[in-house]
Chains A and B, each alone.
Chain A
């Protein structure tokens, strides 16, 4: 039982990262491999705000999210847009965006290493045990999970029950047809990219409350997020959330019952199964 609850708590944070990535890849068609650095950056900002100004990380999100939104908007407009314009087909754009975001990844990592150093960081925030069904869990993990659930819920409402959200989903389905029904595709893509970055940053701020982080770990999170996105089906928010919870469960189970050093192996085992049996994602339809 305690494995299931810790797994779900971990999965909640993963879900937010993966939803951020699926916005960027599903809507803007940019495979952003620097997404994990975005997350670690947010961890550091939250850490800095908390230790220097004693700003509560949950409040810190309010500052971090708009910052990440603007930063990602700029990245899309100045770095990714030219690649979208010059690409002859989707494959070309994928290769270009992978390479460009690798560049971004290492540059961001370099900045963080120079500013904060290569050590491990964490801070004490709401590290109080809470008892649920006989086992103890950190209050910070529960708060992070609830905050992630609220943000994901708000995103779901936005995408499915507002006009602009529908436009973004239309771009996700087919950018060319979306342009034909008077949707400003470049703007919607930039917006989705920035929103995805902001969501990832939010999950970074939440993660920093209970996780020990360092400047190098971004790529691991990018990888997990990518695997979740593939498992859930590209561009599918519901699928990403479900896949994230599954991954959180699988990792916690392997860490508890076999060895904490084998979490990536657990991730890969799940990934292999999905690739072999449902490459279109959990809720995806087979292409006709």
Chain B
């Protein structure tokens, strides 16, 4: 392992242990805690995949629900004829293709076109799927019968989370990651040093979209009956934006800090105040803009910097009594 330095090896070891411990959860509990953990891991993967693209570019993508729904539909359509692992690959390809088309149409232009386009994308795909189903098939819904239980979904999501983290880390080390850093800091500079900015953005968007599609595919057995409104639920897009930004998008593990508290909070609110969920989402958006513009991560880094400065000051005082 010559390509990992001391610090990286320590982080990798720590992460592997953490994953191992988290993976033991289904052996302890099969009820509520497993169910909410599936939600948490699902949003961790979604938000991290979202951050792969939206973190460096600062483009707010609302296409999550569209990719997710495509993944779910891939499984719902093919579960009786195609083996499940192959369906995951098809889901990734289908979502990646959609991301590619959207990216080519909008990412050459300024960010606002992209936001507007993704805003209605889930609705668009939902309408098309509904139209295809009503005209070319007999029923609106599809049954997904599998042998998968919550724990299998949980383990698959955990595995995917590991893959997303590794991919993110590899991208950061690659030419593409370096290019994205420059684009994120100043797009004009990036163009002048010869980076094909549109191409870099489209590639990253495809990777991000493909991962989100796989999440939708893994979650399909959980629905058991798949219908367009439940598969293309636009709230997923908004929740992913909130959680990722709440956590912070500068580091790959930033979204984690937003996902865990928000998923638990949202679960409680849905259970006890089902009519107030809009308020929670609205207030969360406001909090991100006015209180936590860099997310929890930004606040933590501020704290870290403050402590460092404090230590330096006290060290100087120690030198000159």
Residues of A near any B CB (own CB < 8 A): 31, 33, 82-83, 91, 94-96, 98-100, 102-110, 113-114, 219-220, 222-223, 226-227, 230, 259, 261-265, 267-268, 271-272, 275-276, 279
Contacts and interface: CB of A to CB of B under 8 A. Distances in A.
A91 B58 contact: yes
A99 B293 CA distance: 10
Contacts of B60: 95, 98-99
Interface of B is mostly: helix
Contacts, number: 110
A143 B14 CA distance: 69
B120 A107 contact: no
Interface of B: 58, 60, 105-106, 109, 111-113, 115-117, 119-120, 123-124, 127-128, 130-131, 134-135, 234, 238, 241, 245, 275-279, 281-286, 288-290, 293
B124 A107 contact: no
Contacts of B113: 230, 275, 279
A113 B275 contact: yes
B124 A268 contact: yes
Contacts of A114: 275-276
A1 B245 CA distance: 50
Contact of B282 (A106, A219, A275): A106
Given A261-B127, A264-B124, A275-B106, A99 B278 contact: no
A262 B58 contact: no
Nearest to A96: B289
A262 B161 CA distance: 36
A31 B279 CA distance: 21
A279 B109 contact: yes
Chain A to chain B: the 3 pairs with minimum beta-carbon distance, closest first:
A103-B285, A106-B282, A110-B278
A99 B285 CA distance: 6
Contact of B278 (A107, A271, A272): A107
8 contacts: A31-B115, A94-B111, A100-B290, A110-B276, A114-B275, A223-B116, A262-B127, A265-B124
